[in-house]
Amino acid sequence: MYDVVIVGAGPAGSTAAKTLREKGVSVLLLDKASFPRDKTCGGGMPTRVWKRFPYIEPYINSLSYGSDTYSMSLRYKLHVLRDAPMLGMVLRLDFDAVLLRLAVEAGVEFRPQTGVVDMQVQPDRVLLILSSGETLEAKVVIGCDGANSLVAKKAGLSSSDDMKCVCLVAEHPMTEAAVEAMYSKQRVAHLFIKAQGIAGYGWVFPKKQCVNIGIGEFTSAITTNSSRRSLKETFTLFLGSLKAQGLLPEDFLESEAKGAVLPIFPLKKTYANRIVVCGDAAGFINPITGEGIYYAMASGQLAAGVVHEALRADDFHAGFLKRYQQRWWKDFGRDLKVLGGFNKQWGKNSERIVRLLVRDRKLAKMAIGVTGGQISIARYRGLLYLRVVYVMLREAVSPRKAA
């Protein structure tokens, strides 16, 4: 019997495995894929990821020192340029493979091309039935198996909530010189609020030798007034707009796009007897931006800590593992809840919001800090509300005055 089996070797699973092994725990890590394997993702990573996990910094593909945020009409543009990085860019094909390699180098046993097709939680163990027909036994299982988590489903944790972020993403290869010529040496990222009218946004993320283009729509924010054209058609229109603005190479091919569906709200419960779930499997996604790498790695780290304590106490009941949920809630859960309250704003007219950000740099700085995770919205939302009210009143008195 294994002490710990982790299902899924993405950022959550590899981080949990590495953390446990460094605590002296023997770990088996499973994934249905072989690595390196790609994942549909923008690859934009907030700076807090490598501040919390400094060992990943050498593996960041490139850094963006600025951003341009556009209103739906393109009338307003918020330009920000900084001396310090705003975003780190990664290639998921490489980044996930590096995290896995670091886990294996720490002593984690890894089995690729090993899917889990069934799971049974028993009083004294967890049985995992593999795609090969083999059965494994574990004292505890950590589910890091993505948005459609089998572990969460079999443990009775999965939600019937159909609120998702649906996205289309493509990465287009470019020379490093071409990237710098089109997006500057600072590799300015471009964000399009409600691109082509969707309840979400579009992005252009320049990396070292490629550019990542994508659009994401939040189904939770779709209203009867929202555009109902297909996301593929919207993506085509978005590409045309980018080319017209000189933000996309003419040889970019629409056929390069791949789709993905992500959960946007955490599960109500992320633990059960002998089970905890992390990352996408737990619904840990920023409900405003769709970013999930930070929450995946942070939840993997927290889960590993609790599971290590459970092993030492020889207690794997839900009552003990509940402390995992208490810790992620204290760490980032409050922020996810508050951010979730703003999710429906994607379905509303955001023109005025971008205009206010353009006209008040302090408000813009706060908004960027909140969405990027540098500022806790749960802690500072009162100040943010006050600033919004102040800017709106100032604009009402002097609508043409810029900050």
Q: Residue 71: pLDDT above 50?
A: yes
pLDDT in tens, 1-21: 899 999 999 999 999 999 999
Q: Which domains does the chain have, with CATH numbers?
A: 2-41+93-161+264-341 (3.50.50.60), 62-89+163-263 (3.30.9.10), 345-397 (no CATH)
Angle between helices 351-359 and 361-372 (to 10 degrees): 120
Q: Residue 216: pLDDT above 80?
A: yes
Q: Residue 232: pLDDT above 80?
A: yes
Instruction: Kindly report the pTM of this predicted structure.
Output: 0.93
Output DSSP code: residue 84: S
Q: What percent of the chain has pLDDT over 70?
A: 97
For residues 61 and 225, the model is more confident at 61
Among 215-224, 233-242, 291-300, 324-333, the range scoring the smallest mean pLDDT is 215-224
How many whole angstroms separate alpha carbon 7 and alpha carbon 116? 8
Collapsing DSSP to helix, strand or coil, 71 comes out as: coil
Q: Residue 161: pLDDT above 80?
A: no
pLDDT reported for residue 402? 44
Q: Residue 354: pLDDT above 90?
A: no
For residues 397 and 46, the model is more confident at 46
How many whole angstroms separate alpha carbon 81 and alpha carbon 173? 25
Summarize the confidence of residues 135-158 as an average pLDDT: 95
- Partnered with residue 204 across adjacent β-strands are 190, 213
Q: Residue 321: pLDDT above 70?
A: yes
Which pLDDT band, with edges at 50, 70 and 90, does 400 fall under? low
- Compute the half-sphere exposure of residue 388: CA atoms within 13 Å on the CB side of its CA: 11
Q: Residue 159: pLDDT above 80?
A: no
